[in-house]
Structure 1
Amino acid sequence: MQNEKSTTPVSGYTMVAVCLLLLLLGTLGAAVGAKIFGLLIFLPCMLAPGFFFVNPNTSVVLVLFGSYQGTVKTNGFYWVNPFYSKKQISLRARNFDSEKIKVNDKVGNPIQIGVILVWQVRDTFKAAFDVDNYENFVRIQSDSAVRRLAGMYAYDNFEEDSEMTLRSGHDEVNQALEENLKNRLDMAGIHVIEARIGYLAYAPEIASAMLRRQQAAAVVSARFKIVEGAVSMVHMALEQLAQKQIIELDEERKAAMVSNLMVVLCADKDVSPVVNTGTLTP
Structure 2
Amino acid sequence: MVTAAAALLVAGTLAGHHLLPDRYGLGSFVESFLPWLGVPVLLLLLVALLRRSLVALAGVLVAALTWTVMFGAGLLPKKRASAYDLRVVSQNMLDGNPDPTGTARALKRANADVIAVQELTSATYRAAARQFDESYPYHERWGTLAVWSRYPIAGEAQPVDIGIGWVRAFRVPLSTPEGRVELYNVHLASLKVGAEGFESGQRDRTLRRLARAIAGDRSRHLVVVGDLNTAATDRSFRLLAEQLTPAHEAGGHGFGFTWPAAFPMTRIDHILVRGLTVSRASVLPSTGSDHRAVAADLTLG
Shorter-normalised TM range: under 0.3
- Greater helix proportion: 1
**TM-score between the two structures when normalised by the length of structure 2:** 0.17
* Higher-Rg member (1/2): 1
TM-score by length of 1: 0.18
